[in-house]
Structure 1
């Protein structure tokens, strides 16, 4: 009776433990997915800011060169005004282009001139007047004196021939351009996006609030603890500059400019659906566990129903065995690509090697490495890297024509194909088919010499003999051939036998 009680209690505890473990794993996966999402969002915002500033600054550079060459005579300004109108027409994100003399007086603009207007009090004008550098200067947002709307000023200094201060050329960007871009992202009701100056001031933010423009973040944990140590990152915060809610915070420095893109996701919004599903799942599991415990109790208390209870218990055991078999089958596969995993490869290699030894048949192995895959991940992100692996995995599956052939994700960006009863010539045919099919997928890779994702292959085949060969011989030779293919420039196939022949 005591053993029966222990058994029932152990089964119930095991079910709850397994369910708790799976729930915890799904929670960690949820955190990982949203961390990646937040990081990608910050990178997108940073890239948008970089592109926008680059476009506006290109216009400013051209205008400064033109003014310093042609001067500011009436005729030159009339010609310049037409150029300003043309530039703003080509770049709708620009609110306006303005030229001021050394006193801040308006010389020309694409907009209607404001009578007696003077901008010598503006932050950018004071900066250029007191600083001789010629870099683009990004100011805090201001209300336009010509239209009254929020704008972000970008400016450059104009010099006289002797290098003295001659004025300022200004490009103003619509703040609503950034706001409209940020509104395209699905970040939930409580998510935020902000573009922040490295001095700490908020330039633009979603959700937009007038009082938040220019708000100083320099003394917040974002700058003090994170930006100070790394130009990009993601962390979880109990509270932020925006509110007291727990958030996933990602930030990314805008390359070449003193700006920081910040994206936050509300943990309440991110995890609320997960918590609801987890609670439902736990409730169902708990009910099933209670039912199972009650059945065990009935088994012990009602001897007359022992046979029925034993049948129910056998059914439960069969169900658990079926689940375990499914889990065991899943353990043989790589979760990302659906190919066999390293564990399956080790087992099959050993079995096929000894089968080939008994039958005196050839056994071939192709080791495959995706060329420049680290650079691909760095350029396109790990999500695109995973998609690339999945596409190549599907190619490997489609090229396997026989039931006994095994396609494997060997590790990271390395793949393998095990070909029983196949000599070197046959393995070369398969390798050439693989490398051609991958090229034909036309996956773009800007950091590859070919501009496309390619692979390198190392091929070896042998007829193993007892006492002379071990499975590691096949693996080592194919790996040496793969190394040679990579050393020779990648995007090619090298046979281990050819290496031996040249030595």
Structure 2
């Protein structure tokens, strides 16, 4: 019988096996790439939600100031209001404001207050004057700069009309671009990320990290993308520097502004390179082992057809091949290769598991049973892998040993006749990889906690309150249970700030927030900062009587806290006014109605002299017990 046919069959099988292993590892690498890509895109999308909400608040603050000025102009009291100290303090004490400029209908400045000298082209933005004269109400202009990103400002202008509805000039608030950049630096710790704020006309309003040179003036390519839909994640070539990036963006509601966050595709691939290298090493190991085994089998087959005097030469060649196997396995950077017989004894051990890895030397393991080397808990995990491999099944698993974690692969090694007398094990130390995964989970949790907590008071912020209100509203709608809301306002807090300063005012708010948070006991209850010196307490499954009881306890705690306030016209200590509203949600109702009724009740408490609680039900079902008690 010719030797060529068996050899062709052997090499064909080896080639198919190598291709199969290569295909499997390539598919695994592709799946890893896709899963990490989905994770990164999801993370970027979550970050854009936080950044958009922060920008929305900053622009809304400017809008409120401009709306107040427009109202004063309509009422004919704008000049006196602008020249008042409260208006100047309002501009100077708002972090994101650089200044305020007001002009008459001809474009001449009638009022200006700024924190620093403005760029030379600041009033050039009044080219929007004609657009306002023609009816444009609110315009976000192109950014202004006197050189360098640190001096960039973002102009927002409002059309002014008099009490007869005629055009009366323009009010313009200047936002500090550095305010947004500092926020991005404090919230986003990953220096590989790039965060930008864009006008929909392509103007770059803010960019972090700061560019090495002058900030680009526009990015029309990205502007064309963000104008197509509210939010998206995509892979693109950045119009700012031409690099390929993974990006997510979100448009602000009611503003022609979008925020975007991106990660360089090259940096993303660098994070995956250790896994890709591992798969490459595995492929080389299996391919090299397959080729070497095929060569050994082919040479053994050749020995049958050769004369007896050639056996000595064949044995030398086999010894050389075995040395090559040892040389390859001993140079693995972070892995060890084992061959075990059916009695679970080591026949071959080679490789390196790292300097700090607790493992015996290969020579000390040869011929020994696994029970003689490892503790019982390790053997209980290792034996199933070996058993599966000896039964002809490939398997893998994670095995803990002396404080380390090893990823172990088991593969059967059949003899020439197809019987499996031994198996191959490959172990790799993945302890650091597992630790990095745990650290990533911890960082994500901390980011979520910071995003939902008010930085000053340590209780829930407005964003978390809005989310929980909608969640509890829908749950109460399903279960037909009452939902109560308390709105608290510190009485005469402006006088307190004027008397003791804003620093003491912050301490006062912190003590009140701690006191209010100490009143509520149930896990489902929520204390949150609603805005300024206003706090909110959300009480699920609580009727109007129960909500009033909580309000009485808050008043009692404030009396016990006894924060000194001699300047108060109603008491010697700091007091609060409370508005209470309760509703059993109906299908056509909205959660905003509960907030509106609580606000009305708070207004009634202030009208009644403050330091008291006023309550009202938001619908007949919630007010049934309330009306019975009144009767």
Q: Give the TM-score normalised by structure 1.
A: 0.55
* Distance change in 2, residues 1:78/1:188 (3 Å): closer
With a CA cutoff of 8 Å and minimum separation of 6, indicate the structure with the bigger relative contact order. 1
Q: Aligned to 1:103, which of 103, 106, 110?
A: 106
- TM superposition shift of 1:212: 6.0
1-structure distance, mates of 2:389, 2:258: 54
| 1:255 correspondence with 2:249 | no
1-structure distance, mates of 2:145, 2:266: 35
RMSD: 4.3
Say if 1:60 and 1:170, in contact at 8 Å, map to a contact too.
yes
1-structure distance, mates of 2:213, 2:63: 28
1-structure distance, mates of 2:341, 2:477: 55
Aligned to 2:279: 281
2-structure distance, mates of 1:454, 1:17: 53
Aligned to 1:319: 389
Aligned to 2:48: 42
1-structure distance, mates of 2:60, 2:250: 17
- TM superposition shift of 1:101: 2.5
| 1:27 correspondence with 2:17 | no
1-structure distance, mates of 2:19, 2:56: 55
Aligned to 1:195: 197
- TM superposition shift of 1:318: 4.0
Listed as ranges, the gaps of 5+ residues in structure 2 are 1-5, 304-314, 323-338, 345-385, 398-443, 449-466, 480-585, 588-631
2-structure distance, mates of 1:7, 1:27: 30
- TM superposition shift of 1:159: 1.1
Say if 2:92 and 2:115, in contact at 8 Å, map to a contact too.
no
CA deviation profile, 1:355-411 (whole Å, cap 9, x unmatched): xxxxxxxxxxxxxxxxxxxxxxxxxxxx99xx9xxxxxxxxxxxxxxxxxxxxxxxx
Say if 1:195 and 1:259, in contact at 8 Å, map to a contact too.
yes
* Distance change in 2, residues 1:6/1:125 (3 Å): closer
Which aligned pairs between 1:337-356 and structure 2 lie closer than 5 A? none
1-structure distance, mates of 2:33, 2:155: 44
Q: Aligned to 2:300, which of 296, 299, 302?
A: 302
Aligned to 2:167: 165
Q: Aligned to 1:18, which of 24, 39, 51?
A: 24
- TM superposition shift of 1:186: 4.5
Which aligned pairs between 1:162-241 and structure 2 lie closer than 5 A? 162-184=164-186, 186=188, 191-209=193-211, 215-218=217-220, 220=221, 222-224=222-224, 226-237=225-236, 239-241=237-239
* Distance change in 2, residues 1:175/1:453 (3 Å): farther
Listed as ranges, the gaps of 5+ residues in structure 1 are 328-382, 388-443, 457-487, 490-503
CA deviation profile, 1:94-119 (whole Å, cap 9, x unmatched): 122333233333333444899xx997
Aligned to 1:91: 94
The number of residues matched between the two structures is 332
- TM superposition shift of 1:320: 8.0
Say if 2:141 and 2:154, in contact at 8 Å, map to a contact too.
yes
Largest Rg, 1 or 2 = 2
Report the 3-state secondary structure (helix = DSSP H, G, I; strand = E; otherwise coil) of the residue aligned with 2:242: coil
2-structure distance, mates of 1:53, 1:320: 68
Report the 3-state secondary structure (helix = DSSP H, G, I; strand = E; otherwise coil) of the residue aligned with 1:275: helix
Q: Give the TM-score normalised by structure 2.
A: 0.45
Aligned to 1:155: 157
